[in-house]
Amino acid sequence: MRINETSVWQNGTGPDGDVVVSSRVRLARNLAGFPFVNRASAPQRHEVVRMVQGARWPDDLAQSLVWVNVQQATAIDRNILVERHLISKQFADGDLPRAVAISPDETLSVMVNEEDHLRIQVLRAGARLGDCFDAIEVLDRSLEQSLDFAFTSRWGFLTACPTNVGCGIRLSVMLHLPGLKLTNEIEKVRRAAKDMHLAVRGFYGEGSEVIGDFYQVSNQITLGRSEQDLFDHFAQFVVTSLVDYERTARGVLVRQSGTLVDDRVHRALGILRSARLLTADEAMKLLSRVRLGVCLGRVNDVDLATVHRLFLQVQPAHLKVLTQTEEQDAELRETRATLVRRALGGR
């Protein structure tokens, strides 16, 4: 893992990348015969890790997967994984036996002993849910050759939380929706999403806040519909509609308030190129505005890859490792501002 770079799915490229930052499909699975993680003893959790590690992985992955013992990992390493969206905050903060398997390109991670025994996620840049969907099915089929998953014909795949029972599948996209926010349409999106049984979350998923107009949208229903039905509806209707909606909003903004948009974008760029102290939240907020400017073609001397790299590098754990500083989070503001200023050609 090269932490001075984004992973391939985090670099802002990919289909519909102006709006869809990334796509993710996640499966929840539990091993038959073991209590769920919240009731499992430490030896049982160890055994679950051992069984998953020894499972039948597809040949290409079996040789290349990197296993991280999260229980023994340092706080900074765990936070690096959270910031790279490879493990959840909840998983990082636990203190019982748990591990994560990560593919070298970071497009796959399998958390063992999160809320469920297995939380498998496949990630891609842009609107590529289909690729995630196909890849995760291959992996699921391979793992079930050697692992017995808890399943009943009535409820499907059994999960610790009944909101995941059935298919155990969560399809999600990370969307950049500054247009809908600026045109005050975002609340309509939230209401519509609720009516359609979709969850709208923040930048780090469940329980996280919306930062920099990034919204993670995902299906909430996992029972009573097949994986394919859920996928078809989400990928072909929900995501397509939201992308169209955001682009329409951006178009309206540029036509009706072009100068206002330019001012907002270039003012943000000016601060990022000049500031001496920056919090992570402020940096994210300003970088989000620059991203809008880049996508609309209003900023020509900054590329999307740089913006995305900074989204990652301004996070506390990445910043600490990159600059090899021992500073506490609150003291990192100067270090952060210096890094951003240099990356964007400021003085």
Partner 1 sequence: MPSDRCDHCDKPAVVHELVIKNGTTLEVHLCEEHASAQGYVLPSHQPVHQLLTQFAVGAPAKSAAAKQKVVKACTTCGRTLAQIRETGLLGCADCYRTFEDGLQSLIERAQAGANFHIGRTPRGERDAAARHELRTRLVRELDEAVSAEQYERAAKLRDRIHQMKDAGDCEV
Check binding of 222 to partner 1 (CB under 8 A). yes
Choose which of 49, 167, 286, 290 interacts with partner 1 (CB under 8 A): 167
Q: Where are the beta strands (DSSP E) in 116-253?
A: 118-125, 151-152, 156-157, 169-176, 198-201, 214-219
| Cβ distance to partner 1 smaller for residue 160 or 312 | 160
- Whether 55 and 147 have beta carbons less than 8 Å apart is answered as yes
Answer yes or no whether residue 155 interacts with partner 1 by CB under 8 A. yes
Smallest gap, in angstroms, from Cβ of residue 154 to partner 1?
A: 6
* DSSP designation for 149: B
Element (H, E) at 67: strand 66-69
Check binding of 108 to partner 1 (CB under 8 A). Answer: no
The site map against partner 1 for 38-77 (x = CB under 8 A) is: xx--------------------------------------
Between CA 52 and CA 91 the distance in angstroms is 17
> Considering only CA atoms, which of 164, 133, 152 is closest in space to residue 29?
164
Q: Which two tokens stand for residue 291?
A: 């991203």
What is the per-residue binding string for partner 1 in 180-219, x denoting contact by CB under 8 A?
A: -----------------x----------------------
**In sequence order, what are the beta bridge partners of 100?**
68, 111
Instruction: Please name the residue that has the structure tokens 């995760």.
Output: 136
46-54, 64-72, 225-233, 235-243 -> range binding partner 1 (CB under 8 A): 225-233
The residue range among 26-34, 47-55, 252-260, 317-325 that interacts with partner 1, by the rule CB under 8 A, is 26-34
Paired tokens of 179? 């247009």
What 55-64 contacts at long range (C-beta under 8 Å, 24+ apart), as own/partner pairs, is: 55/143, 55/146, 55/147, 56/142, 56/143, 56/145, 56/146, 57/139, 57/142, 57/143, 58/138, 58/139, 58/142, 61/103, 61/108, 61/139, 64/103, 64/104
Q: How far is the CB of 155 from partner 1 (least distance, A)?
A: 6
CA-CA-CA-CA dihedral for 115, 121, 103, 132, to nearest 10:
170
The gap from C-alpha 98 to its chain's centroid, in whole angstroms, comes to 20
Return the axis-axis angle of helices 280-295 and 304-313, rounded to nearest 10°: 170
Residue 112 beta carbon to partner 1: minimum distance, rounded to whole angstroms? 17
> What distances in angstroms separate CA 182 from CA 12, 18, 127, 133, 240, one per listed residue?
21, 16, 23, 32, 20
Any contact of residue 224 with partner 1 (CB under 8 A)? yes
**Please, what is the minimum distance in Å from the beta carbon of residue 102 to partner 1?**
25
Among 165, 186, 211, 271, binds partner 1 (CB under 8 A): 165
Q: Does 157 bind partner 1 (CB under 8 A)?
A: yes
Q: Is 160 in the site for partner 1 (CB under 8 A)?
A: yes
CB 131, min distance to partner 1, A: 18
Q: Contacts with partner 1 in 257-296 (CB under 8 A)?
A: none
- Phi, psi (rounded to 5 degrees) for 308: -70, -35
Which of 81, 135, 158, 271 is close enough to bind partner 1 by CB under 8 A? 158
Tell me if 145 contacts partner 1 by CB under 8 A. yes
Among 151, 285, 304, 343, binds partner 1 (CB under 8 A): 151
Residues in contact with partner 1, counted by CB under 8 A, come to a total of: 40
Least distance in angstroms from the C-beta of 89 to partner 1: 17
Under the rule (CB under 8 A), what is the footprint of partner 1?
Answer: 30, 32, 34-36, 38-39, 115, 140-141, 144-145, 148-158, 160-163, 165-167, 197, 220-227, 229
